[in-house]
Amino acid sequence: MNKKDLLNNKYFIAALFLLPAVIFSLVYLIIPIPLSAYYSFFKWDGIGAMEFLGFDNWSKLLSDPIFWSSMANNFKLIAISLVVQIPIALFLAVLLTRKIKGASFFKTIYFVPMLLSSIAVAFLWRYMYDPTFGLINGVLNLVGLEQLTRSWLGDPDIAFYSVAAPVQWRFIPLYMIIFMAGISNIPKQLYEAAEIDGANNLQTFFFVTLPMLRSTVINASVLIIVGSLKYFAMIFALTGGGPNHASELMATYLYSKSFTEMNMGYGSTISVALFLVALIVSFLFLNLSKKDVRN
């Protein structure tokens, strides 16, 4: 095949344009997965020689109470996020797609948390949680609810819920936008038909909007599940997983093992476990939700 033919071959051209993206995802996304699995069989500090351990890291992981409690925290985060983010995001989306005054203004305002960087949001909340000077304890004191004031981030019993709150606040707008896009795709005729049949607002929502948004809600749930399993940024910035691992997630634990304690082998083991858990959970969820559709 001569040069000219090659350049006229549309598959060749397509491959050429895809190449940079393919190389990028291979190097940064695909190859690290088997590589981490490989590292998980070694004791390695990231610079020195690697010492083969066999399945030692894995058996250590299975009997590591901190790993299990951090995984439990991940599942708690999933549950909280599903219960909090989806209904609120859905409510806001329905509200803002109606023809109300200033909808576009509120759209922008509600989207702000998503635009701020995670770390900035974390700092904002850190100052709100300050036990002496913080907004939350300040308001509680002001209205005479002194008995409710807490050391929000310092008390191991509530630290996890304190760090989960800003995560909800930040991600609701994302799902709000997704639902708004979903709602605008619902054919107008359905609403007109519902109106003719005499459906009220609530009925319209439950019998038209919600069923039509079904796949969008499922997609959003998958995003929430995977996102919550991998979550890291704000928890790391707020408590670093502390106090005494009370707000530890798999990702923060993985970070402190690999980069603070320089135990890359064990860190890789946690990361592979995290990958497997995320894979299994999202696979199960997608399968279950698919089955329902066919029925």
Partner 1 sequence: MNKGLILSLTLLMVFSLFSFTVMAQDEVTLTLWDIRTAADQATPAVKDAIDRFEADNPNIKIEHVPTQNDNYKTKLRTAMSADNAPDIFMSWGSASLERYVNAEKVSSLESYMTEDWRSNFMPAAMNLGIVDEEVYGVPVTNVSPALVWYRTDLFEEYGLEVPETYEDLKNVAETFIDNGISPFALANKDKWPGSMYFMYLVDRIGGPEALQKAISREGAFNDEAFVEAGRKIQELVEMGAFPDGVNGLDENASQSRTLLYTDRAAMYLMGSWAYSGIKNEAPDMVEQFSFFNFPAIESGEGDPSNLVGTPGDNYYSVSTKTKNKEAAVEFLKYLTDVQMGEKLIEIGNIPPFTGVGDKINDPIMKKIYNSSQKANYIQLWYDQTLPLELAQVHLNTTQALFGMEMTPEEAANQMEAAAQEYYGE
Residues that bind partner 1 (CB under 8 A): 45-48, 123, 126-127, 129-133, 150-156, 159, 239-240, 242-245, 256, 259-263
User: Quick check: 235 and 26 in contact, CB under 8 A?
Assistant: no
In the bound state with partner 1, the residue whose beta carbon lies nearer, of 108 and 244, is: 244
Q: How far is the CB of 188 from partner 1 (least distance, A)?
A: 51
Nearer to partner 1, 177 or 264 (CB): 264
* CA–CA gap between residue 230 and residue 278 (Å, rounded): 8
Q: What does the DSSP 8-state code read for residue 187?
A: -
As a whole number of angstroms, the distance between CA 278 and CA 83 comes to 19
We find the least distance from the C-beta atom of residue 162 to partner 1, in angstroms, to be: 8
In the bound state with partner 1, the residue whose beta carbon lies nearer, of 52 and 206, is 52
CB of 151 to partner 1, least distance (A): 2
Which residue's CB is nearer to partner 1, number 85 or number 247? 247
Supply the minimum distance, in Å, between the C-beta of residue 163 and partner 1. 10
Task: Please count the other Cβ atoms lying within 10 Å of the Cβ belonging to residue 243.
Answer: 14
Half-sphere exposure of 35 (CA within 13 A, CB side): 8
Residue that the structure tokens 């990361």 belong to: 271
Note whether 77 and 171 are within 8 A (CB). no
Which CB, 129 or 231, lies closer to partner 1?
Answer: 129
Q: CB-wise, 151 or 204, nearer to partner 1?
A: 151
Q: Are 229 and 276 in contact (CB under 8 A)?
A: no
One-letter identity of residue 286: L
Asked if 271 contacts 254 with a C-beta cutoff of 8 angstroms, the reply is: yes
Q: Shortest distance, CB of residue 96 to partner 1, whole angstroms?
A: 35
- Spatial separation of the C-alpha atoms in residues 249 and 228, rounded to whole Å: 9
For every residue of 29-97, DSSP letters joined together read: IITHHHHHHHHTTEE--SSS--EE-TTHHHHHHHT-HHHHHHHHHHHHHHHHHHHHHHHHHHHHHHHHH
Cβ 231 vs Cβ 249: under 8 Å: yes
The least distance separating partner 1 from the CB of residue 149, rounded to whole angstroms, comes to 9
The alpha carbon of residue 112 and the mean position of all alpha carbons in its chain are separated, in whole angstroms, by 18
159 or 172, CB closer to partner 1? 159
**Closer by beta carbon to partner 1, 81 or else 263:** 263
CB of 238 to partner 1, least distance (A): 8
**Least distance to partner 1, CB of residue 111, Å:** 27
